[in-house]
Structure 1
Amino acid sequence: MSASPILITGGAQRLGRHCAERLLDDGHPVVISYRRERDELETLRRRGVVTLQADFSTEAGILDFIARLKAETSSLRAIVHNASDWAPDSLEQDAGANFERLFRVHMQAPYLINLQCRELLEACPEPQRDIVHMTDFVVRKGSKKHAAYAATKAGLDNLTLSFAAMYAPSIQVNAIAPALIMLGKGDDAAYAEKAMAKSAMGMIPGPGVIYQSLRYLLDNRYVTGVILPVDGGRHLR
């Protein structure tokens, strides 16, 4: 447990929300960013989570978020870069804009936050301080329909290595690279069966495995520059 909060970007839903709630259960104060207002935010606010709206699709939005974060807290125990946009490729005239948006969300936002919030991490009195990037299994194989997504997540993988070297030994920087962890609202039984067949474990594990992975990184003082796959053995297929 730390008095300095843990920041989770994109913490209002799915994996980000689950990790925020589990961190609260473990006694950690939490700050999250969110893109748009949703009912789940009120539940988090009632539990004491600080919620900061953020638009990571523009550089101005990223810098505005950083300024408001610094006004909110003087230190951070960890930063978990979970904000993401699973947008398919566009074949229309807006293809360039689509790529630029994904670049800003997956690469520029973590890059600028890591650079400008280093002082918040170093102000934490705890012996361990962490940055964790949420990347994706798809980085290893590419994607026919989400090439821009895969490429920008691959860039985030590389940022993990660069910042780990840059910030050692005072700040540990690692990544978690999940495959499908939980179903979406529109996913049916046929989709679930097809998804499970892609991994050696043959299951859709739920968000708990991501929190277990996050806890491992937050609790281990001797790991940095690691990209931790949480994919159920998909590389074995």
Structure 2
Amino acid sequence: MSKTILITGVGKRVGFYLAQHLSKSGYQVIGTYRTPRPELQQLEALEVQLLQCDFYDIQQTEQLIAKIKANNSSLRGIIHNASDWLPDSDSACSISTIEKMIRIHASTPYALNLALAPLLQNNPLQFSDIIHITDYVVDKGSKKHAAYAASKAALQNLTLSFAAKYAPKIKVNSIAPAMLMFNPDDDDNYKTKALNKALIKQEGGEAEALRAVNYLLDSGYTTGQTLKIDGGRHLV
């Protein structure tokens, strides 16, 4: 099917929202998740194909790739949304922290892009798309999440390499959000501080990510770019 799109990390937040709305827009969505959640039943009702995979497990990742290749002759796109947010530590586990961050944010997208590129090339439409969800911190770094920031920066750099490698058939771009959604346990003090870091002092919301994804899917002339949706943080 020419409108089949793979979205990693659809169990919650932005990934869940993208899977819902792209499915309702006519895409056949394949969604990966690590942890079973009640919300996934809503995606099943929309006929989203759900595949459980822990990207920290290489064997599970290889099995996922094999299953997608066996069941699909083409893909319209891949959205790399799966993520984790581990804080830095000065203990002996610090190497493990950065290895995990690199695994989920860079190594896994790298492997999926290479393995599934033939399916993207087989899409009968003029273009296919790879979209990397990175982060505002790739240009700034992070005092408490340096491993996370570094791994997202690696993903942003992969955007450049894969855009050059797969042009003109496959467009490859990044979306770098900041402060799209608060977590349920964020207190008012944290929310105020976070909002004051931007010119537009509000949550962007999942809809901003969907608008960015739709722009990139619809564009016939954008590749190798990073679309920043950060409320003007770079000017504060």
CA RMSD of aligned residues (A): 1.1
Aligned to 1:11: 10
Give the fraction of aligned pairs with identical amino acids, expressed as a percent.
Answer: 47
Query: What is the aligned residue count?
Result: 236
Take 2:38 and 2:122, find their aligned partners in 1: how far apart are those partners? 33
Aligned to 1:210: 209
Aligned to 2:228: 229
Take 2:133 and 2:180, find their aligned partners in 1: how far apart are those partners? 13
Deviations 1:177-232 (A, max 9, x none): 00110011211222211111000111112110110000000000100000111100
Take 2:72 and 2:168, find their aligned partners in 1: how far apart are those partners? 23
**1:4 shift after superposition:** 3.1
Aligned to 1:37: 36
**1:40 shift after superposition:** 0.9
TM-score (structure 2 length as normaliser) = 0.97
Aligned to 2:102, what secondary structure does the other structure show? helix
Take 2:145 and 2:127, find their aligned partners in 1: how far apart are those partners? 36
Contact conserved, 1:54 with 1:61, CA < 8 A, in 2? Answer: yes
**1:68 shift after superposition:** 1.7
Take 1:28 and 1:176, find their aligned partners in 2: how far apart are those partners? 20
Aligned to 1:72: 71
Gaps of 5+ in 1: none
Amino acid paired to 1:18: Y
**1:93 shift after superposition:** 1.4
Aligned to 1:53: 52
Aligned to 1:115: 114
Larger displacement relative to structure 2 (52-61 or 199-208) = 52-61
Deviations 1:65-123 (A, max 9, x none): 11122223221100000011011112221111111111110001000000000011111
Aligned to 1:161, what secondary structure does the other structure show? helix
Runs of 4+ in structure 1 displaced over 6 angstroms?
none
TM-score (structure 1 length as normaliser) = 0.97
Take 1:213 and 1:4, find their aligned partners in 2: how far apart are those partners? 18
Contact conserved, 1:58 with 1:101, CA < 8 A, in 2? Answer: no
Take 1:3 and 1:164, find their aligned partners in 2: how far apart are those partners? 21
Contact conserved, 1:5 with 1:29, CA < 8 A, in 2? Answer: yes
Contact conserved, 1:58 with 1:104, CA < 8 A, in 2? Answer: no
Take 2:2 and 2:116, find their aligned partners in 1: how far apart are those partners? 17
Q: Summarize the alignment of residues 147-158 of structure 1 with structure 2, pairs less than 5 Å apart.
A: 147-158=146-157
Aligned to 2:92: 93
Aligned to 2:174: 175
Take 1:72 and 1:18, find their aligned partners in 2: how far apart are those partners? 24
